[in-house]
């Protein structure tokens, strides 16, 4: 861990000692930071539970979930060794692994998958009566595209530009999930994007105060986006995710992944994935989308190769790991 984390590690160890939760003197537990996102999204909710489970089941480690701006910032923190594990949208993980897009010039192969989590569904929300019923209706309006450095902004911009809509065509607002919901509620924002596993708490809160409309994404719009981003798939916001939403809403998704540095200790990666998959039922009680966290989903959708410790664990459990997911030596 870097010098940036040394003061936090020392402070946390002192707190553990003060409350009788760790050794005072002698060896201290290894501090691991888990980069999540803003408090209004699913990354932070599930990340806090994952950190708690890892800390409980791996007594030599203390894992803390950190609030961040989202995927792009998370990957930058990871690649600079300021966090040990990071949530990321598949789109951004692919860019970081290949040294492309937001990570142009970065070291290829430095980021690998620990586990695939669940589909990150792009949700475009507005209020009933706003006149926004399709992507084209965003032209000339005030639209939140997500926080700077977030996977939401990357996903929103990719969707829009693939379908002929540039930032110059509307008034972009770079707001986090809670700020987006508040802006739509208060009338300072006409529509906003969320990239998260539905139901998302900030949209749920907005839907209790206002009549929310989720804007559908058409098959053609998904196809044009997938031509730009190979991690994109057709998906749906399930019926009943939010108040007043009686039917599934067509959208698109990219897989969410937990990523680590390629130089993470192999045994540590092995233990992290083992504990996480064994606790899947517990995580599913925290949020329904966590029910998708399985070895099978990881092998199906991971956009980048797996860490060697993950490969070894899955092979020990009897899974066949495809060649595309085995990292280069």
**Both 76 and 184 in a single domain?**
no
For range 212-221, the mean pLDDT: 98
Residue 27 pLDDT: 58
Going by C-alpha positions, the residue among 43, 35, 37, 27 that lies closest to residue 5 is 35
Range from 11-15, 20-24, 150-154, 213-217 that averages highest in pLDDT: 213-217
Residue 28 pLDDT: 64
Task: Name which of 7-16, 57-66, 276-285, 295-304 the model is least confident about.
Answer: 7-16
**Both 195 and 164 in a single domain?**
yes
Task: Name which of 230-234, 312-316, 322-326 the model is least confident about.
Answer: 230-234
End position of a domain, from candidates 253, 277, 308? 253
**Both 199 and 289 in a single domain?**
no
**Both 244 and 227 in a single domain?**
yes
For range 292-303, the mean pLDDT: 94
Higher pLDDT, 261 or 37: 261
* pLDDT tier at 229, thresholds 50, 70, 90: very high
> Could you tell me the residue range of the domain that residue 191 belongs to?
120-253
CATH assignment of the domain containing 168:
3.40.190.10
For residue range 12-63, what is the model confidence (pLDDT) as tens digits?
444 444 444 444 544 567 999 999 988 877 889 999 999 999 999 999 999 9
End position of a domain, from candidates 253, 269, 291? 253
- In which region does residue 99 sit, left (phi positive, over 0), alpha (psi from -120 to 50) or beta (all else)? left
Task: Name which of 15-29, 159-173, 198-212 the model is least confident about.
Answer: 15-29
**Both 234 and 166 in a single domain?**
yes
Looking at every residue in the chain, the average pLDDT score rounds to: 90
Q: How many domains does the chain have?
A: 2
Q: Token match 């809403």: residue?
A: 249
**Both 187 and 39 in a single domain?**
no
**Both 87 and 133 in a single domain?**
no
Residue 38 pLDDT: 85
Give dist(CA 93, CA 118) in Å, integer. Answer: 14
Tokens of 325: 């997911």
């Amino acid at each position: 861990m870097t010098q940036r984390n040394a003061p936090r590690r020392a402070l946390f160890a002192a707190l553990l000692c003060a409350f009788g939760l760790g050794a005072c003197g002698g060896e201290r537990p290894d501090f691991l930071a888990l980069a999540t996102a803003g408090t209004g999204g699913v990354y932070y909710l599930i990340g806090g539970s994952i950190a708690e489970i890892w800390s409980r089941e791996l007594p030599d480690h203390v894992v803390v979930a950190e609030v961040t701006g989202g995927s792009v910032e998370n990957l930058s923190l990871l690649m600079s060794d300021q966090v040990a594990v990071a949530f990321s949208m598949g789109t951004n993980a692919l860019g970081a692994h290949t040294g492309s897009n937001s990570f142009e010039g970065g070291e290829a192969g430095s980021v690998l998958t620990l586990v695939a989590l669940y589909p990150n569904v792009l949700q475009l929300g507005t209020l009933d009566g706003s006149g926004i019923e399709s992507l084209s209706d965003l032209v000339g309006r005030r639209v939140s595209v997500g926080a700077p450095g977030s996977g939401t902004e990357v996903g929103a911009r990719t969707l829009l530009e693939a379908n002929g809509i540039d930032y110059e065509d509307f008034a972009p607002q770079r707001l986090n999930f809670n700020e987006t919901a508040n802006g739509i509620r208060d009338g300072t924002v006409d529509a906003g994007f969320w990239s998260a596993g539905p139901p998302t708490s900030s949209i749920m809160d907005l839907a209790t105060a206002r009549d929310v409309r989720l804007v559908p994404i058409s098959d053609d719009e998904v196809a044009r986006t997938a031509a730009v981003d190979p991690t994109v798939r057709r998906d749906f916001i399930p019926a009943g995710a939010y108040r007043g939403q009686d039917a599934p809403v067509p959208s698109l998704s990219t897989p969410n992944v937990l990523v680590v540095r390629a130089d993470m200790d192999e045994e540590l990666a092995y233990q992290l994935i083992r504990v996480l998959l064994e606790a899947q039922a517990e995580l599913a009680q925290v949020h329904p989308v966590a029910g998708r966290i399985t070895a099978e989903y990881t092998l199906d959708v991971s956009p980048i190769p797996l860490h060697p410790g993950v490969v070894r664990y899955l092979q020990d459990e009897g899974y066949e790991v495809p060649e595309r997911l085995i990292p280069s030596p």
